[in-house]
Structure 1
Amino acid sequence: MWYDGGWAWGGWLVMAVTMLLFWALVIAGIVALVHYLTSSRRGHQRPEPPSSPDGHGWGARRAEDLLAERFARGEIDEDEYRRRLALLREQR
């Protein structure tokens, strides 16, 4: 029995490319699933707020740290830094 008029070498090329794409999608799916499972598990663990001398935890310390970072990057000048820092400490 002869299969005359078949795809010849083009059929093999299409099958090879399709097989490569299939396995690439399977591997990418497994990697995405592992990444999702490990990142979602990490997201449920909340760190304990650091203890500060005034007992305010994350909020006050984090705001002051962000303000200090902005000052260090040059986004705000010294006067604005001192004014905002005083305002933050005043609102505690």
Structure 2
Amino acid sequence: MMRWYGGGMGPVGWIVMGLFWIALIAVIIWLVLRLLPSSGHAGPTPTSSPQVPGPESPIDILDRRFASGEIDLETDQAHRAALIAARGSR
């Protein structure tokens, strides 16, 4: 009858191998969660103002405020007319 050299892996070997695989899987899951965007990831929210390079024009600010519901249609139209009138008088 043939025997394996050394009698195979002992209980400590099985425990170490199991812990190695658990740690490896945990690291892979952590990397995937860390690298992929998710809803819990810190970043711009729908209610936050968008990051725009450079200064915004008054019309852009007015459009953003209207789109976010900060001002109503009548206020938007009144402010837009005032801005257009102010630009025309320059």
The answer to whether the superposition gives a TM-score over 0.5 is no
Give the TM-score taking structure 1 as reference length: 0.38
For the pair shown, the structure with the greater C-alpha radius of gyration is 2
Give the TM-score taking structure 2 as reference length: 0.39
> Per residue, is there more helix in 1 or in 2?
1
